[in-house]
Amino acid sequence: MISQIPVLVSSLLPLLSLLTSVSASCIHGTHLLPRQSETVPISNFGYSGNIGPLNWVSINETANALCSLGRFQSPINIDASIELDNGTSSTLRIPDVEEADFENLGTTVEVVVNGTLVDRGKEYALAQFHFHTPSEHRVFGEYQAMEAHFVFQAEGESSPALWTSSSLSLPVPTSLSNTMLPPLPDSTILVLAFLIRVSGQSELDPLFGSIFTALPAIRNPGSVTATGPLSFARLENHFATHSFYRYEGSLTTPPCSEGVEWLVVDGPLLVDVGTLEDVKSVIGFNSRYTQTALGERNLLN
């Protein structure tokens, strides 16, 4: 088997090229796109013109092919065809922190904290959370002012599998065909999405105020600062007391990879107008357009 390693590596090169071509995307900080250094990466895509969603595939036609070909793309308009889960099999835990890294990736701002989501008996680790304005998902046609994406990666290993072209979506040498693969790190990505509505009510979650007071320090792409203390107790309670929509879709940024588990909470969080304006002044418009219904032909194909 050792003598076959060079062949094995050469077979993996197409997959490796997909990973290395990805800039700062919504999987930043996961094992699929690990943090490389203290430097904050800046996205090579955007939301208008030649680097906007209609042209993401042209930035890298190999890596971003699913942006124009995929049939299970996100975000979507959530309707009665999407499963509504009562949440009894899911638990969210994000420890309070005295401070957290707060980064500007050029296309969004993200907060780096640890946390755990257990969903249907499977454990996921929180890599980071970031924001979109306006919301990317719509619920029965209605959108909100913002959307927060908490990006989790699966903990543990996948089950052993046969080394075949179909299991890897890559050509496999005849000498390695049907070889049993050892367990590999589970690459499943789960995104927990909270829609955020503008409100003048007094029951605003102080979490966002605590985060966004640090915005002036990261107005420039590539910058990073530290937040003040962050408490996630009310966010955990919101998740525990609301149902959520569940579906399998894709990343909403290049490379638009599919097989992403989405949990979209039914019931918005609240933010005040001033906070929304502060966020928009830094990240502007950063939402991908609504995709076709799951399984339907891609709008760009």
pLDDT at site 204: 75
Q: 126 phi and psi, to 5 degrees?
A: -75, 130
Evaluate whether 247 touches 259 at the Cβ level (below 8 Å). no
Q: Two tokens at 113? A: 């904290």
d(CA 216, CA 61): 36
3 state DSSP class of 90: strand
Residue type, 151: V
In the DSSP assignment, the letter for residue 32 is T
pLDDT recorded at residue 242: 97
Q: CB atoms < 10 A from the CB of 154, how many?
A: 20
Helix (H, G, I), strand (E, B) or coil at 251: coil
CA distance 19 to 109: 22
What pLDDT score was predicted for residue 282?
97
pTM over 0.75: yes
Per-residue pLDDT 10s for the chain (301 aa) are 444 434 333 333 334 444 444 556 676 666 656 666 678 889 999 999 999 999 999 999 999 999 999 999 999 999 999 999 999 999 999 999 999 999 999 999 999 999 999 999 999 999 999 999 999 999 999 999 999 999 999 986 555 544 444 444 444 455 555 555 555 667 799 999 999 999 887 667 889 989 999 999 999 999 999 999 999 999 999 999 999 999 999 999 999 999 999 999 999 999 999 999 999 999 999 999 999 999 999 999 9
pLDDT at position 35 is 65
CA distance 98 to 128: 16
